Amino acid sequence: MSELTQQKCTACRVGAPSATSEEIEAYKPQIPDWEFVEVDGVPRVQREYSFPDFVSALAFTNKVGALAEEEGHHPAIVLEWGKVNVAWWTHKIKNIHLNDLIMAAKTDQIFNDR
């Protein structure tokens, strides 16, 4: 199994396969702080990051946004003083795709590299 952070997102369209439960279980150790939840009937992977102030939370948010643009895959991001909530899911299939796991790992990498 390859490192999620070394993978690139693939173009996703309606009908693309969701990540299987086996794939999710196999990759979970690479993204241990992420929660798998359902919002309005749609599965997603989400995590809250803590920061000492608004400025550093905003800088992180901007880096995640730049990554999203680079990969062509975009999250829901909620920025508040001292915290940022990031959620990944694939809108076109209304489910979790391998792209979402890749982006979760890359989001952690941004956080850890700051």
What is the edge-to-edge ordering of all strands in the sheet holding 76-80?
35-39, 42-50, 83-88, 76-80
Indicate the CATH number of 33-113 among 3.40.50.12500, 3.40.1410.10, 3.30.1360.20, 3.60.15.10: 3.30.1360.20
**Contact at 8 Å (CB) between 103 and 68?**
yes
Write out pLDDT tens, residues 45-55: 999 999 999 99
Does the pLDDT of residue 95 top 80, yes or no? yes
Q: What is the per-residue pLDDT for 12?
A: 78
Does the pLDDT of residue 10 top 90, yes or no? no
Helix boundaries (H) for 1-114: 21-27, 54-71, 98-113
**Contact at 8 Å (CB) between 86 and 75?**
yes
Q: What is the average pLDDT across 93-105?
A: 97
Alpha carbon of 101 to those of 80, 82, 96: distances in Å? 24, 24, 8
| DSSP type of residue 8 | -
Write out pLDDT tens, residues 67-84: 999 999 999 999 999 999
